[in-house]
Structure 1
């Protein structure tokens, strides 16, 4: 059975027990748009204790909000009792709920396109808010008063941009004006939730449109001022005929293919250092902008509560995003060290997107990829010819010199000048034991 069939089965079971039950929200929107959905929610007038009684395996994740997870063959389905909500003192969660009717339940939701119910038994769509019309027109519009909807849950402001870029919809002018008015209040939302929405935008369809929308809605200045500040930062026309740093960043985002969170953030942040390193001498220059940008990226990741591993990868991508331009002149050992990095495939994709968003010259990228494919893993990251134990056996004392010796021997090994342990030992004696 498919996920949808399991969801329909839950609806049928609830209806057989005498309750009203519908598929609700995004899965109905996707069905109308002819898109595959991977998340099915069910709305019902059955109370949480009734849902727990009816189904064999449940998880009471939010009984206080009328929400129970029903588990079917390893798939989780959120089953929520029709409700209304009142007062959102934290700008995210209701202080009180009351169980209600299907129509009132829909009217508490965020956008009209997500406010549809579907009865798979009767094959009937219930549309109390004009959701079908807005889907057909390609409009993201809040249900009811936009100020009220965004005051209830500030995260909805970013979600509006996400849905607009995901479906290539426009945002209704009243909804847009409300977001612009309330944008400074986005900080009431936790950094983790903001990061989750940002991740969905920049790893989903049309990330460039999403970031441009966030800027137009005054949200980007609130959540990523470093990116917003690249607007109007001019670049040398011979290297960047496309325009300023912000335009270049949007173009680079549009060139990504199947990006991970870390790659997408690397692309989004790769040139943020240019806004603070802009100088004009013989021409416009951005000296050490990759190093400055890497430090800024670290601060951004900390602010967004990004995991340590992801933060280190994003920082590394920003720091290394210029290295391909010197690749054809690199010594073989340096090139091999680059290829040995776990993040190399993401760096290559960043450099490809960066080039396509500026000069369009992919010769450096093509050279690196050709060399990367040509060199085996053993050649890129071979077993060390000698270790610290070997140096101790030679009578050397452990200390900072060990790292210098081992790095030098590894460089010569990567260049192909040393191939055996015996030769490596002789080279150590020649260089460090005279």
Structure 2
């Protein structure tokens, strides 16, 4: 197969391959960018593999950085672009089910591609657009099949995260996992415990944001991988609710992913904190999910106030509404968004009176009372009891202060 019209990303990087080939070595585009080009998907990182050893690559280009020299990777700086070029290699001795104990540089493309995870990712592309397919990856692309290269047990023992990558690609590409590969995942799911949570997190989020998350979730449950993820053991029934997501659902960010998961697990805002900490998510994400779950609790209780909407904020509110739509919840999300847009202020800084104003006019003194007055003023503005004008807020502040 030959790709007649290469994407601009490959055309820009083509001189790198030509320079290496002109020096007598082999060089190819490899990995996901080749797969996605064939599928007419958007490509991201352009990776290059070569028969030239790192020292030989560095000798060919004036500007390089040793980004992963131990594993054969050299970054070539070309104008404003950066390209990672990795020497063909073999790997052995995966004692931690993640990293090879030994890396050996080789001159053979076949040996290099044999160590890759799935056939659709083991394609190489020459600079003229010719596709090199040594493991029937093109046929698997055509059939929408995800198949491990060689023996799947070996691939998963080399890096147990590949099992999560399998279900991530099943969701991202809307592919089916080939039976032998799926069986191997089921038999070796417990190896996922050997993998750092941070790495699992990335694959899980990408799976949930794929074009067919329900397919990914199905494999996640059916293979048993879920049981080796933080605090999900014994949660197959709750996770199964995600199989009923609206077929057109597309989660677009991490907040939506974790709001949806916490909602399915029926976690309160309070309990979500320890759950998300176990997954090692960021404090910023934890705060966003916490706000979204507080909104869900208010919706469940029929107590959604202007204050709740204000505290939720536009970004989290939008994500929360997307989650409710994804699970087809009987909630008028348009009405909630309209109520938010109708708020007189959407940020506490928009309040026309601040603590300094109160202190300057000696309405109160520094301390808890100051905060209580400002909180009351904010709530009164949100509920329409007081207009957001400095004069009216000062009068109201004096009234509140006189009562306490």
For residues 335-362 of structure 1, the C-alpha deviation after alignment (integer angstroms, 9 at most, x for no partner) is 16624644x3333342343255245x45
| Equivalent residues of 1:140, 1:160 under 8 A apart | yes
Structure 2: which 5+ residue stretches go unaligned? 1-6
**CA apart distance, 1:204:** 2.7
Structure 1: which 5+ residue stretches go unaligned? 232-244, 274-291
Instruction: Tell me the residue number matched to 2:393.
Output: 424
In structure 2, how many angstroms separate the alpha carbons of the residues matched to 1:186 and 1:152?
Answer: 12
Greater Cα shift, 398-407 or 213-222: 398-407
Instruction: Tell me the residue number matched to 1:261.
Output: 254
In structure 2, how many angstroms separate the alpha carbons of the residues matched to 1:7 and 1:266?
Answer: 40
TM-score normalised by the chain length of structure 1: 0.82
**CA apart distance, 1:67:** 1.1
Instruction: Tell me the residue number matched to 1:357.
Output: 327
Instruction: Tell me the residue number matched to 1:288.
Output: none
For residues 108-133 of structure 1, the C-alpha deviation after alignment (integer angstroms, 9 at most, x for no partner) is 11111111112123x42222212112
Count of residues paired in the alignment: 395
TM-score normalised by the chain length of structure 2: 0.88
**CA apart distance, 1:68:** 1.1
Instruction: Tell me the residue number matched to 2:291.
Output: 316
**CA apart distance, 1:301:** 2.2
| Equivalent residues of 2:120, 2:140 under 8 A apart | yes
In structure 2, how many angstroms separate the alpha carbons of the residues matched to 1:253 and 1:152?
Answer: 36
In structure 2, how many angstroms separate the alpha carbons of the residues matched to 1:227 and 1:296?
Answer: 16
In structure 2, how many angstroms separate the alpha carbons of the residues matched to 1:341 and 1:324?
Answer: 12
Instruction: Tell me the residue number matched to 2:148.
Output: 142
In structure 1, how many angstroms separate the alpha carbons of the residues matched to 2:250 and 2:155?
Answer: 34
**CA apart distance, 1:21:** 0.9
In structure 2, how many angstroms separate the alpha carbons of the residues matched to 1:180 and 1:13?
Answer: 45
Instruction: Tell me the residue number matched to 2:41.
Output: 35
Instruction: Tell me the residue number matched to 1:16.
Output: 22
In structure 1, how many angstroms separate the alpha carbons of the residues matched to 2:42 and 2:152?
Answer: 29
In the alignment, which of 369, 379, 393 is matched to residue 411 of structure 1?
Answer: 379
**CA apart distance, 1:321:** 2.1
Q: CA RMSD in A?
A: 2.7
Instruction: Tell me the residue number matched to 1:394.
Output: 362
- CA 1:258–1:184 in 2, change beyond 3 Å: closer, same or farther? closer
| Equivalent residues of 2:152, 2:184 under 8 A apart | yes
Instruction: Tell me the residue number matched to 2:118.
Output: 111
| Equivalent residues of 1:84, 1:98 under 8 A apart | yes
Match of 1:270, SS state, is helix
- CA 1:159–1:270 in 2, change beyond 3 Å: closer, same or farther? same
**CA apart distance, 1:386:** 4.5
Q: How does 1:121-160 map to 2 (within 5 A)?
A: 121=128, 123-160=129-166
In the alignment, which of 334, 346, 349 is matched to residue 316 of structure 2?
Answer: 346
- CA 1:358–1:388 in 2, change beyond 3 Å: closer, same or farther? same
- CA 1:381–1:335 in 2, change beyond 3 Å: closer, same or farther? farther
